[in-house]
Structure 1
């Protein structure tokens, strides 16, 4: 919770000249997945972002301003809880991924290691896709200063970390990354791009949109954008989208990734565009990973053969273009963390 409170403070400092110093309901909208930890993270974050002004303090002894966090039941969440499903076409792509040389080789190379971990933990049916549970538990215990079991040597924990990273790649990459993105991270990206477009066309839209979710949410989004660094995001990471109105009236997008509390957020560059990417170019370059009809694209080919569905592109088409970025007049941030 402290990490998210500090993230809120960092965002307050970053946007001190943009956001109101006190909470205004018209300025911000927050949505979380329906898990205790993500809801609590959002609340801690907001406590750091919007410390109450004197008139907002309902008690002299409580320096806290309640701010609403919206959610939907897990069974209805088709935006933030990844991988999204049920989606037969995605499951078909995952089965195809299991047959790739990369997956097969990784499975063979780690068979004995997985057996060892299964014996030590008492878990059954440990695979490349489920081993992340073991790493998450050990990482959490280590972070809280607890003593790890003797078998969990630094080398073992490091190997588990690599396998967790591989499990993320399995979910959203390795095989047919663009098609997977259309069924997964592209869904969230589509909503974010819709938000940015609405921000550019109306002054009534909130200044700040916040999504509080999971590491898999960040991976799905960043794989769709083709900016994922291949490593698990640490606690309280956030992917930031900033919308700028240029002097000529056009809009541009900048992305940042905050994954280290001791450093400024890293600039992220969408392939095919400069860091300050014109909004229309951003929309064009990401079009191939945005689903036209998620429900339809989730159907198997045999189920859609007679429906005239649009063919899903297999590769991202990247067009390199020099873009001019005039001085900033307004920025409109949105972030996922």
Structure 2
């Protein structure tokens, strides 16, 4: 009985969010879909030959068929929730899309965009049932979001413990300044483009970043999302929604989390500010972790010859 009451209460809260506020912008960071093992991880398997054979149809660290299907479902979620901002057809004035320079993140966003802008909405061809939508990417050494199959039964049984351990590892890894170095530039971009919208300056209303688990997790940390959602699963997404209260004009920040496309959306809170956080309060709480791109580049000590192996 208590569960039913709580569920009904949450439905009321969520309906109030949609009914009493207008969505002005969404800033979404998602993880890529299910992939094959990377070459460097094969050596840790008790059966590397099997993993190598399973990887052959795709290559190392590439999306599997399941990963493509899950990526498409992610696109369906984005279309359903942000339909009013996306428009019937792609328009670069409305939507900004960026991917890290990894084939699995590029393929993920391309697959998701096939669902975001299906050909049935606006056709450019009677015979080609696909809508081309571009994304932006930069070389890894300049990119602030690029740094750093079925399981055997005995491993599957250990997954809950492994998930908890991995979450603790991420907490340790991104404690303090490290979270800012990992996601501070993302936060700076959210604050910049939010301020443009609040000032009435025309800019993209949807910003999507196709990235990795550590990007999704670190962005939660620097934006003070609570409770944290653990190690991001394949095709999970974390978004900040900039909203404006219809009756007062007040701007609010709402953090939302999609554990996976086939799971329910989770409404999070901003620590010390609540579920619907006043924008000015949000800025005050988080600006210490925001990082200008040039400062980030200098702090990380990246130089012209810096190189990251994108096969990993």
**Contact between 2:239 and 2:257, CA under 8 Å: does it hold in 1?**
yes
What CA distance in whole angstroms lies between the structure 1 residues aligned with 2:179 and 2:71?
28
Residue 197 of structure 1 pairs with residue 162 of structure 2: no
Give yes or no for contact 1:193–1:283 (8 Å, CA) kept in 2. Answer: yes
Asked if 1 retains the 8 angstrom alpha-carbon contact of 2:85 and 2:94, the reply is: no
Q: TM-score, normalised by structure 2?
A: 0.66
Give 1:240's aligned residue: 239
User: 1:185 aligned to 2:183?
Assistant: yes
Computing the radius of gyration over CA atoms, which structure comes out larger, 1 or 2? 1
User: Could you give the per-residue CA deviations for residues 217-274 of structure 1, whole angstroms, max 9, x where no partner exists?
Assistant: 0111112223362621111111111112334333221110011334431111111112
Query: Which aligned pairs between 1:118-137 and structure 2 lie closer than 5 A?
Result: none
Which of 1 and 2 has higher RCO (CA within 8 Å, sep 6+)? 2
Q: Which structure 1 segments of 5+ residues have no match? A: 84-140, 300-337
Please list, as runs of the form range in 1=range in 2, the aligned pairs for 1:100-139 lying within 5 A after superposition: none
CA distance in 1, matches of 2:229, 2:74: 23
Distance 1:54 1:166 in 2: 44
CA RMSD, Structure 1 to Structure 2 (Å): 2.4
Question: What is aligned with 2:228?
Answer: 229
Residue 171 of structure 1: aligned partner? 173
Which of 83, 89, 97 does residue 16 from structure 1 map onto? 83
Distance 1:55 1:47 in 2: 12
Cα offset, 1:295, TM superposition:
5.3
Kept in 1, the 8 Å contact 2:73–2:262? The answer is no
- Corresponding position: 1:69 with 2:71: no
| 1:81 pairs with one of 127, 146, 156 | 146
Q: Which runs of 5+ in 2 are unaligned?
A: 1-67, 302-312
Residues of 2 paired with 1:67 and 1:42: CA distance?
10
1:245 aligned counterpart, secondary structure = strand
SS of alignment partner, residue 231 of structure 1: coil
- Look up the SS of the partner of 1:184 in the other structure: helix
The equivalent of 1:269 in structure 2 is 269
Would you say the 8 A contact 1:253–1:282 is kept in 2?
yes
Q: Distance in 1 between matches of 2:122 and 2:228?
A: 44
Maintained 8 Å contact 1:182/1:290? yes
CA shift for structure 1 position 24:
2.1
